[in-house]
Amino acid sequence: MAKQQQQAKSPVASSANATSNTQKAAPVRPAGTSSDSIFKEGKTDFIFGRTHFMYFGAGLLLVFLGLGLMTGGAQPSPDVWDESIIYSPVRITLAPMMILAGFVAVIIGIFKKA
């Protein structure tokens, strides 16, 4: 009871109470609305994090590098068929292995836990 009398007499306490009463309340969403879309609320939560995108980038790099190795070089002469250039180990073995490694890296990036 004594505290209530002191607060009533004190001008500082009465001005603090007056300012807290004049502040507006935060807006409240009506109970019937639901927010199904992330765009309505402005959320920026992504499913994949930085490490996931690193795996995606490494996988895509391996796939493109494998495709580049598979194309190989050109024949020295259009009249001559050189099997050692067309059926080289780089085109037949290394390039497909790099492409598969790229696909595996992308799959790991998808299924890796954050």
Summarised one tens digit per residue, pLDDT across range 53-94 is: 999 999 999 999 999 999 977 788 888 888 888 888 999 999
Summarised one tens digit per residue, pLDDT across range 21-64 is: 678 887 776 766 665 655 666 566 778 888 999 999 999 999 99
Q: What percent helix, strand, coil does the chain show, rounded to 5?
A: 65, 0, 35
Provide the pLDDT for residue 21.
66
- Give the three-state DSSP class for 31: coil
Cα separation, 109 vs 51, in Å, equals 8
- Give the three-state DSSP class for 100: helix
- Cα of 1 vs its chain's centroid, Å: 59
Cα separation, 102 vs 99, in Å, equals 5
Rounded to two decimals, the pTM is: 0.58
